[in-house]
Amino acid sequence: MPNRLAQQTSPYLLQHASNPVDWYPWGEEALNRAKREDRPILLSVGYSACHWCHVMAHESFEDGAVAAVMNRHFVNIKVDREERPDIDQIYQLAHQMMARGAGGWPLTMFLAPDGAPFFGGTYFPNTSRYGLPGFGDLLERVALVWREKRAEIQEQGEQIRQALARTQPSGAAHRSALSAAGVSAQVEQLKANFDARYGGFGGAPKFPHPTDLELCLRKGAVDVVATTLTRMCEGGIYDQLGGGFCRYSVDAFWMIPHFEKMLYDNGPLLALLADAWLVTREPLFARCAAETAGWMLREMQSPEGGFYSSLDADSEHEEGKFYVWDRDAVRALFTAAEWDVFAPHYGLDGDANFEGRHWHLRVARPLAPGDEGLLQSARAKLLAERETRVRPGRDDKVLVSWNALAIRGLARAGRAMGRPEWVAAARRALEFLRLQLWRDGRLLATYKDGRAHLAAYLDDYAFLLHALLELMQCEFVPGDLEFAEELADVLLDRFEDPDAGGFYFTASDHERLLHRPKQGHDSAMPSGNGVAVLALNRLTALTGDERYARAAERALELYYPQMQAHPAGFGMLAQALDEALAQPTTLILRGQSAPLAQWLATCAGDYLPGTQILGVADGLAGLPPVLDKPPRPAPVTGWLCRGLTCLEPSADLDALRAACREPVVPAGPA
């Protein structure tokens, strides 16, 4: 019989709906039962594309004997970390405090009925190995500790609460202290950690860090970005046949990935590839951008317009099986000429690089001039062969925050590279979110099969606001600006800490949890606080509403001491600070539709990371005063504004572009 998870929308929870475990989703029913029966909670957090989550499920949660122990001693709660990042954040942080080490998924935490954790770990095998106890034995031991050491558990719970409270930023800087030093410290830290040979930062495992690379490109560290993107695009972290990037590389060389493909990686990487192409004109970046966008539209966009969340690392219960190859089977598909080009280029003429017996494609040698045609015909044959395989599972829920990253990536790349179909796909996704997940002036976080639910988080509002500002630069629609102001108003009303500054991850009317995080660090995704600051400052420049700028400034004041003392991990806030110090630059173009479109297309070829360029057609009504520029006799006229101060209007496009490229000396000491 299915358990309570059968009524959920999360594909991850639905994967466990037939377990013999008496699973609950997180909610009042489970929490009240734990309190009523004075039972500890077993909290298991994972996500559908997680390899080790699948392993633990097959080994333990599908095992009747293990499930019986779980059901006898615990109230068992299963959480999808993608639908409930609030819960995941809290208990990952608690685990790190208790274990004094990194967390991960699956996250396995044991909680008192009030939610305070008293023991935890990540993956546990079904029998003792890897230096870990068998899960069944562990369950009995934890149940015994709960019965016999209640006072110690209660004391530890209080210590965890206090430790979580101490993680909140405090001691804000005065606004006069904000300076470019906070930006340069972050850039210097990234340069020091840069792997000049293989690209990226640090050693294995190696993650893409698109936010940090955006900062490096913005501040002129072009080699850091170009080297990293080249190695990634040539490596196995990139799908050499189908496009798109996997989540991370298990080695320092970008050769063998953890094979899951996440929407939240590919949206920002698409935008970064487009920006890097504008700076370098490297054809490899243009090709990988086109292939990544193609993958997103082909495999990840739903018929309704929203983007799905991820592709699994596994197929047929084996990680990477969909992507790796047997050399003889590949050779049999090609002509001799195709093999002679394909094999050395992708490393099939060398030793197997995956588990000692399979080949995973990566660029091993440059392609000789004139061999492009043979390589393309071979790739097409191999991709067609791959399409006959059992595909990895796809998590088909639609998350607002991840969709916002995809919308911004497609809009940014579509504008920069002259691909209107990418912009149209971004527009479809936006309209889907407004139709299905915007209810009574608030966002819902997740959607699947016609059902939207769960209160949205900081990232949902901040990322969608940022995406709207990008999409408005492709095509200005007044309704988009109105929607952006509505999102910003919710950020200020429900998420901002008006006293200390900064934005909480959950809204003021969110359910009460063990902790209310207010983080400034980037994770695998950009910091919600960093994106909110950058977007609110840009919105001020379009609306003239200083409330948004003041909230952004309060957040920068709060996090600035941390950015100075421990600069690593603040890439998004550093970008926001850099832009705030210089004041957001806005180029407002107003005129007739056809020449206006030509001007916008020309400007789109410039890399201007701190500049918004809006084309406002003559005749649009209901604009805010900042954008409601008077008609001029020229076909198009431009107003270049720093903050809310504009230069004299000009009908000289080249002069306006040159003025946009002029460096702005930031406020404060360098």
User: What confidence tier does 269 reach under pLDDT thresholds 50, 70, 90?
Assistant: very high
3-state secondary structure of 642: strand
User: What confidence tier does 533 reach under pLDDT thresholds 50, 70, 90?
Assistant: very high
User: What confidence tier does 373 reach under pLDDT thresholds 50, 70, 90?
Assistant: very high
Instruction: Name the residue ranges covered by the structural domains of the chain.
Output: 4-166, 180-313+395-582, 323-388, 585-661
Nearest to 84 by CA among 138, 9, 180: 9
Whole-angstrom Cα distance, residue 332 to residue 382? 11
Least confident of 38-52, 123-137, 146-160, 363-377: 123-137
Q: What is the pLDDT of residue 604?
A: 97
Whole-angstrom Cα distance, residue 624 to residue 28? 45
Mean pLDDT confidence for 138-151: 97
Least confident of 1-5, 269-273, 577-581: 1-5
β-pair type (23-25, 75-80): parallel
- Mark out the alpha helices in 219-346 (DSSP H runs): 222-234, 263-280, 283-295, 327-333, 336-346
Q: What is the pLDDT of residue 665?
A: 59
The answer on pLDDT for 326 being more than 50 is yes
Q: What is the pLDDT of residue 669?
A: 38
Whole-angstrom Cα distance, residue 516 to residue 530? 18
Least confident of 108-122, 125-139, 364-378, 444-458: 125-139
What residue has token string 């709207």?
Answer: 468
What residue has token string 């002036």?
Answer: 441
Listed in sequence order, the residues at least 6 apart from 663 whose beta carbon sits closer than 8 Å to its beta carbon are: none
The pTM of the full predicted model, rounded to 2 decimals, is 0.97
> Is domain 180-313+395-582 given the CATH code 1.50.10.10 in the classification?
yes
More confident residue, 622 or 354: 354
Does 4-166 match 180-313+395-582 in CATH topology? no
Pull the structure tokens for residue 431.
Answer: 């309209």
Least confident of 273-277, 414-418, 570-574, 630-634: 630-634
User: What confidence tier does 212 reach under pLDDT thresholds 50, 70, 90?
Assistant: very high
Number of other residues whose CB lies within 10 A of the CB of residue 550:
16
Number of other residues whose CB lies within 10 A of the CB of residue 355:
12
User: What confidence tier does 670 reach under pLDDT thresholds 50, 70, 90?
Assistant: very low
Whole-angstrom Cα distance, residue 83 to residue 81? 6
Q: What is the pLDDT of residue 108?
A: 98
Listed in sequence order, the residues at least 6 apart from 598 whose beta carbon sits closer than 8 Å to its beta carbon are: none
User: What confidence tier does 666 reach under pLDDT thresholds 50, 70, 90?
Assistant: low
pLDDT digits (tens, 9 = 90+) for 282-319: 999 999 999 999 999 999 999 999 999 999 999 999 99
At the fourth CATH level, which superfamily is domain 4-166? Answer: Glutaredoxin (3.40.30.10)
The answer on pLDDT for 599 being more than 70 is yes
For the chain, what is the mean pLDDT?
Answer: 96
Mean pLDDT confidence for 516-534: 97
SS (H, E, C) 498-546: CCCCCECCCCCCCCCCCCCCCCCCCCCCCCHHHHHHHHHHHHHHHHCCH
3-state secondary structure of 589: strand
β-pair type (117-121, 107-111): antiparallel
- Mark out the alpha helices in 102-180 (DSSP H runs): 135-148, 150-166
Whole-angstrom Cα distance, residue 72 to residue 180? 58
Q: What is the pLDDT of residue 77?
A: 98
Nearest to 618 by CA among 650, 596, 649, 639: 596
pLDDT digits (tens, 9 = 90+) for 606-621: 999 999 999 999 989 8
Return the ∠ at Cα 485 (arms to 480 and 490), rounded to 5°.
125
The answer on pLDDT for 29 being more than 80 is yes
pLDDT digits (tens, 9 = 90+) for 493-521: 999 999 999 999 999 999 999 999 999 99
Torsion of CA 42, 46, 48, 49, to 10 degrees: -150
pLDDT digits (tens, 9 = 90+) for 184-206: 999 999 999 999 999 999 999 99
